């Protein structure tokens, strides 16, 4: 129980680094959807689709590889410096090559030249700080990690409000300001925030003696490249729909779809907070005798919290809709929300299950599973969007993550069997889905919907009361 309490404590601290920025982004969604039309919001989405893709490509699995070898190596500083030098050099080479062909590449990805240049700057700055951030997590410095993350998002949010709200409202005179191209200021705000983050982390580039170890680099690369492929497949799972929709159904539909997709942000926050706390914890705890039992309990509580969030958000989805996406022209895509929420819950379970191939150094399985998900995403979207409309994109996401979750459990039990309480987990998932469907069919009766949320909570307290008492006492 002590290990689980430590896990929850770390997850809460790291969660602040994820939850607060996401909540600030939550504040930005109404601002963006009110000031940008669906077409401009589609451009904003496209920018970050490519940012996600190249972030994975440029880090090539080095972050997770760093965690794996830093925790078990006696030459920790050498692992750190090798990973840092590797990412810095490859990122600078990327900058030189891509900048030389920036005109052609901007045209290829259907972005304005100015947008593409801003994207390039954000990518370079964000990639170079990956290992310093990972170092803070691996050495148990969650407060510093969180403080730097928060400074980044505060700058980003304030600049968004300045350019998109304050300047037009108070008619502030700026010689460079273009009121007909507001979306560019979102990208400029991101670049400035990334630049400040880089400056805050520059001491870690000089803090220790930098030495490059070829044997360590080979180990990192061998461990990390399957994770890169898995990451690229994950980006496809998350973003292929938003890349395809403007080409098939138009930018206005893609903008509405992307805006409503944001309502699932709370589930995404929960999953990301879990990952930040879980990855270093799982690696550090792997040698303990009761490690597998601890992993099983963490999975159960993850499913409990995730299932509760599913029921709660769906029960009050109309409230979340009015809070997050206030522009009614976006609401044509509101029906995707329940599907996307369940898909993200399946993804979170998959991330939890994924520890088996990371601890056994079988990262190629992560690549295989993600590729399976990517293939499902691509095939279903390509063949079904024209037939079903944008709702097909949401179903593709659920099918992909559901398949990855089931396959990961199957192979995980063969290679690194963890005694998950499958009956209890399936019970929570099944009941939450039933209650969510019921909430969707109450004609927004909040009395009934609140009762449905309380039913789920009562079930959890009844079934877990003894274990929860022990956890609280410790």
Burial 287-296 (b: 16+ CB within 10 A, else e): eeeebbebbb
CA torsion 220-221-224-229 (nearest 10°) is: 180
Q: What is the pLDDT of residue 142?
A: 75
Question: What is the per-residue DSSP string for 382-446?
Answer: HHHHHHH-THHHHHHHHHHHHHHHHHHHHHHHHHS-----HHHHHHHHHHHHHHHHHHHTSSS-H
* Six token digits for residue 61: 């699995």
The upper half-sphere exposure of residue 86, i.e. CA atoms within 13 Å in the direction of its Cβ, equals: 27
Read off the DSSP letter of residue 264: G
Q: What is the pLDDT of residue 158?
A: 93
What is each CA distance from 254 to 243, 343, 412, in whole angstroms? Answer: 8, 19, 37
Q: CA 413 from chain center: how many Å?
A: 26
Task: Report whether 57 contacts 100 (CB < 8 A).
Answer: no
| Nearest in space to 22 (alpha carbons), one of 274, 383, 299, 235 | 274
Query: Sign of the CA dihedral 167, 171, 172, 176?
Result: positive
What are the pLDDT tens digits along the chain (474 aa)? 455 555 556 556 655 666 666 666 667 878 888 888 878 888 888 888 888 889 989 998 888 888 778 877 777 888 888 999 999 999 999 999 999 999 999 988 888 899 999 999 999 999 999 999 888 877 778 778 888 988 998 899 999 999 999 999 888 888 889 888 899 999 999 999 999 999 999 887 777 777 888 888 998 888 888 888 878 887 888 888 888 888 888 889 988 888 888 888 778 777 777 776 666 667 666 677 777 887 888 889 889 999 999 999 999 988 888 888 878 888 888 899 999 999 999 998 998 888 888 778 787 888 889 889 999 999 999 999 999 999 999 999 999 999 999 999 999 998 888 889 999 999 999 999 999 999 988 877 889 999 999 999 999 998 888 777 776 665
The upper half-sphere exposure of residue 29, i.e. CA atoms within 13 Å in the direction of its Cβ, equals: 25
Q: How many CB atoms lie within 10 A of CB 177?
A: 13
Task: Report whether 122 contacts 184 (CB < 8 A).
Answer: no
> Is residue 343 within a helix (H) or strand (E), and if so which, with residue range?
helix 337-353
Task: Report whether 307 contacts 431 (CB < 8 A).
Answer: yes
Q: What is the pLDDT of residue 111?
A: 85
Q: What is the pLDDT of residue 164?
A: 94
Q: What is the pLDDT of residue 232?
A: 85
Task: Report whether 27 contacts 157 (CB < 8 A).
Answer: yes
Task: Report whether 348 contacts 271 (CB < 8 A).
Answer: yes
Q: What is the pLDDT of residue 19?
A: 63
Query: How far is the C-alpha of 195 from the C-alpha of 161, rounded, in Å?
Result: 19
Q: What is the pLDDT of residue 408?
A: 92
* Six token digits for residue 385: 């969007």
Residues 6+ apart with CB under 8 A from 458: none
pTM of the full predicted structure?
0.75
Q: In the block, which residue shows the tokens 């191209």?
A: 181
Q: How many CB atoms lie within 10 A of CB 238?
A: 22
| Nearest in space to 132 (alpha carbons), one of 220, 70, 44 | 70
Query: How far is the C-alpha of 207 from the C-alpha of 217, rounded, in Å?
Result: 20
Q: In the block, which residue shows the tokens 């990972």?
A: 134
* Six token digits for residue 133: 């951030």
* Six token digits for residue 80: 């750190």
Query: How far is the C-alpha of 41 from the C-alpha of 28, rounded, in Å?
Result: 12
Q: What is the pLDDT of residue 10?
A: 59
* Six token digits for residue 56: 């994975």
Judged by DSSP in three states, 110 sits in coil
Domain spans in the chain, listed from the N-terminal domain onward: 2-473
Task: Report the interhelical angle of 76-100 vs 62-72 (nearest 10°).
Answer: 170
Q: What are phi and psi of 179, to 5 degrees?
A: -70, -15
Helices vs. strands in the chain: H and E counts, helices first: 22, 0
* Six token digits for residue 334: 């509101």
Query: How far is the C-alpha of 364 from the C-alpha of 415, rounded, in Å?
Result: 13
Q: In the block, which residue shows the tokens 């040698």?
A: 287
């Amino acid at each position: 129980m002590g290990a689980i309490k430590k896990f929850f404590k770390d997850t809460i601290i790291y969660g602040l680094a994820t939850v607060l920025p996401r909540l600030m982004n939550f504040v930005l969604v109404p601002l963006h959807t009110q000031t940008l039309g669906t077409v401009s919001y589609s451009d904003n989405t496209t920018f970050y689709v490519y940012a996600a893709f190249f972030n994975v490509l440029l880090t090539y699995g080095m972050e997770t590889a760093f965690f794996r070898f830093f925790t078990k190596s006696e030459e920790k500083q050498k692992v750190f410096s090798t990973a840092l030098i590797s990412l810095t050099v490859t990122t600078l080479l990327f900058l030189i090559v891509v900048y030389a062909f920036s005109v052609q590449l901007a045209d290829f990805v259907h972005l304005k030249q100015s947008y593409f240049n801003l994207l390039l700057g954000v990518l370079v700055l964000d990639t170079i700080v990956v290992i310093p951030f990972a170092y803070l997590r691996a050495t148990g410095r969650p407060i510093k990690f969180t403080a730097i993350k928060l400074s980044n998002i505060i700058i980003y949010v304030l600049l968004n409000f300045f350019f998109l709200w304050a300047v037009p409202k108070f008619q502030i005179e700026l010689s460079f300001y273009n009121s007909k191209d507001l979306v560019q200021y979102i990208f400029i705000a991101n670049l400035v925030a990334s630049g400040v983050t880089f400056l805050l982390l520059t001491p870690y580039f000089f803090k220790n003696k930098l030495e490059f170890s070829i044997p360590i680099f080979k180990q990192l690369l061998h461990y990390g490249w399957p994770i890169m492929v898995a990451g690229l497949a994950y980006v496809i799972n998350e973003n292929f729909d938003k890349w395809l929709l403007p080409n098939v159904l138009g930018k206005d539909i893609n903008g509405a779809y992307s805006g409503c997709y944001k309502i699932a942000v709370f589930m995404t926050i929960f999953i990301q907070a879990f990952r930040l706390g879980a990855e270093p914890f799982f690696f550090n705890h792997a040698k303990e005798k009761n490690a597998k039992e601890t992993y099983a309990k963490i999975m159960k509580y993850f499913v409990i919290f995730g299932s509760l969030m599913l029921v709660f958000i769906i029960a009050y989805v109309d409230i979340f809709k009015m809070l997050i996406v206030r522009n009614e022209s976006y609401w044509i895509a509101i029906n995707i929300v329940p599907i996307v929420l369940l898909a993200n819950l399946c993804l979170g379970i998959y991330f939890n299950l994924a520890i088996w191939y990371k601890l056994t150094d079988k990262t190629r399985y992560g690549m295989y599973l993600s590729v399976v998900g990517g293939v499902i995403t691509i095939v279903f979207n390509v063949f079904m969007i024209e037939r079903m409309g944008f709702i097909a994109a949401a179903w593709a996401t659920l099918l992909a993550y559901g398949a990855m979750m089931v396959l990961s459990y199957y192979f995980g039990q063969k290679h690194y069997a963890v005694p998950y309480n499958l009956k209890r987990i399936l019970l929570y998932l099944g009941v939450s889905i039933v209650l969510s469907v019921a909430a969707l069919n109450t004609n927004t009766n909040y009395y009934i919907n609140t009762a449905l949320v309380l039913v789920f909570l009562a079930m959890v307290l009844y079934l877990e009361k003894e274990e929860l008492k022990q956890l609280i006492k410790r």
